[in-house]
Amino acid sequence: MTFIGEVIQWFLNGSHWQGDGGIPHRTLEHIELSAVSMLAAMAIALPVGIVIGHFGRGGTLAINISNVGRALPSFALLVIAFELFGLGAFNGAIPPFVALVALGIPPIVTNSYLGMREVDADIREAAKGMGMRARLVLWRVELPIALPFIMAGIRTSAVNIVATATLAALVAWGGLGRFIVDGLGQQEYPMLYAGAILVGLLSLIVEFSLAGVQRLVTPAGLRTSKSIQKEEALGTSFDSAAVLA
Amino acid sequence: MLATGVVGAVDDPWIRWDWTTRHLDVIGAALSQHIELTVVAVGLGVLIALPLGLLAWRERVLRGPVISLTGILYTIPSLALFSLLIPITGLSILTAEIGLVSYTLLILIRNIVTGLDAVPAEVREAARGMGYRPRKQLFQVEIPLAIPSIMAGIRIATVTTIGLVTVTALIGEGGLGSLIYDGLLRDFKTPLLIGSVLSVALALVADLSLSGLQRVITPWSRGRATT
């Protein structure tokens, strides 16, 4: 009881809400690093996954990349990136950025690929038969059908990235992980606990809001489809992708 | 924890073989702790997930809550989950294992449910028609047919756990993660690289062995394409 009291005290302490080391600034840092890494990962992974899926070549690569990605420990990636790039510019944001981008790419590639493969050949044929040009088929037919899967990949990546950004505090960057790492280092358990709660909350918010977006982008005609329902119920389709693999 | 080496040299190479050969015992101990932490976590995970998965599959009402609850556990970042446990279980192997087991549950339960769901209705009918009682049907027909999906879950859980074990270095365990952490703290690349490479290698070996095991225990699915 006393411990919970100490954690509440920590949250109520006004000085923990101010300045560079305060909760708002640390939260902002966390979101900033995650968002920039996420955008970069999407910019690289979406075209790759969509192109591979569209042409149907290189599927083994698209699927295996997430298996390899899973085997790479995020902690090792971060530390190696730190050794490679040093602290560098942007307050030491470069090493965690590189590690987070590398971590974010595989699920997006795999899921975009699987989403594009989900498009029935008959549907493509029908679109072509209706006189749609290849580009139009891609934008009006294939991508809308693939979108829920693509979103599932983005969601998995985003949750991974937000979680791993916590570890970034180990090498250099601030973010919410700072509270955890410093709490552990100084054996200041109320701070450690507060940090863990904040990180946990942020991750859950990201997971649930992206799950909502995923539901929104699912075309009405696909909402009853069994495979999509499964995606929703089971969450991270990144792993169901590997089940198929 | 590790014996002294030249630390933090500016031109510290990625690997120093002299250090490596002198510390094979430390590396071996880290590797075996890594394997131990992983085996215990996945083993306990399977023991917990099998009954829960069966229950979630049988009782449709329980499916949502079981999957959501384990999904929430899965979403919480590992370092945060370990930290939340520290005031209760301290900096101990128990803290590490509780966290690691939690992360296997979603993957395992989901694949158990998906695998059992995928058993064709005709097969179930046929089994019933042949006079199988529900229990015998479950153990002799349904579970064997779900093995590929369950094994896929075990493989993903194992590979994921091997990666997560490295994070437990921060709470004083870590297996190969302790080499990585030590390298980071001392700015000495050799243990860091060895820890990372061995961890990836371990994950790949574990994945290949489990897929070999799967082929052995499901002889009927050989010949069909199961990559």
Provide the shortest C-alpha distance from residue B67 to chain A (in Å). Answer: 7
One-letter amino acid at A2 equals T
Task: State mean pLDDT over A209-232.
Answer: 70
pLDDT confidence bin for B49, thresholds 50/70/90: very high
Q: Which residue has the higher pLDDT, A61 or B176?
A: B176
Under 8 Å CB pairs connecting chains A and B tally to 143
A73 closest CB neighbour out of B77, B152, B196: B196
Task: State mean pLDDT over B6-29.
Answer: 79
B195 closest CB neighbour out of A76, A82, A177: A76
Which residues in chain B have Cβ-Cβ distances shorter than 8 Å to A242?
152, 155-156
Provide the shortest C-alpha distance from residue A141 to chain B (in Å). Answer: 29
- Tens of pLDDT, residues A84-122: 887 777 777 889 999 999 999 999 999 999 999 888 888
Provide the shortest C-alpha distance from residue B132 to chain A (in Å). Answer: 29
CB burial readout B160-198, b (16+ within 10 A) else e? bbbbbbbbbbbbbbbbbbbbbbbbbebebbbbbbbbbeb
Dihedral, CA atoms, A103, A108, A111, A114, nearest 10 degrees?
-110
Provide the shortest C-alpha distance from residue A140 to chain B (in Å). Answer: 31
For residue A194, pLDDT beyond 80: yes
Best of B31, B63, B66, B83 to mutate (most A CBs within 10 Å, chain A): B83
- The three-state secondary structure class of B133 is coil
- What residues of chain A, 148 to 167, have a C-beta less than 8 Å from chain B? 159, 162-164, 166-167
B87 closest CB neighbour out of A163, A193, A235: A193
Which residues in chain A have Cβ-Cβ distances shorter than 8 Å to B10?
none
B76 closest CB neighbour out of A72, A200, A236: A200
* Helices (H), ranges, chain B: 17-22, 24-58, 60-75, 78-89, 93-117, 121-129, 134-137, 143-165, 176-186, 189-217
**Amino acid A232: pLDDT:** 36
Distance CA B86, CA B63 (A): 30
- Residue B21's contacts (CB-CB under 8 Å, 6 or more residues apart) are none
Which residues in chain A have Cβ-Cβ distances shorter than 8 Å to B162?
71, 73
Backbone angles phi, psi at B12, to 5 degrees: -60, 120
* Interchain pair B63, A233: CB under 8 A: yes
pLDDT confidence bin for A227, thresholds 50/70/90: very low
The nearest alpha carbon in chain A to B183 belongs to A79
Distances (CA, A) of B225 to A59, A245, B146, B220: 15, 10, 16, 12
* Interchain pair B192, A83: CB under 8 A: yes
* Interchain pair B171, A184: CB under 8 A: yes
**Amino acid B65: pLDDT:** 92
- Tens of pLDDT, residues B60-119: 899 989 999 999 999 999 999 998 898 888 888 999 999 999 999 999 999 999 999 999
Does any CB of chain B come closer than 8 Å to the CB of residue A197? yes
Tokens, residue B186 = 């001392």
The nearest alpha carbon in chain A to B80 belongs to A196
Q: Which sequence spans correspond to the domains of chain B?
A: 23-216
**Amino acid A69: pLDDT:** 84
Q: Which sequence spans correspond to the domains of chain A?
A: 2-9+20-244
Does any CB of chain B come closer than 8 Å to the CB of residue A83? yes
Task: State mean pLDDT over A119-137.
Answer: 88
**Has domain A2-9+20-244 been given CATH number 3.40.50.10420?**
no
Q: What is the CATH number of domain B23-216?
A: 1.10.3720.10
Distance CA A207, CA A213 (A): 10
B204 closest CB neighbour out of A71, A181, A236: A71
**Amino acid A14: pLDDT:** 82
- Tens of pLDDT, residues A48-69: 999 998 888 888 888 888 878 8
> Which DSSP letter does residue A130 get?
T
pLDDT confidence bin for A180, thresholds 50/70/90: very high
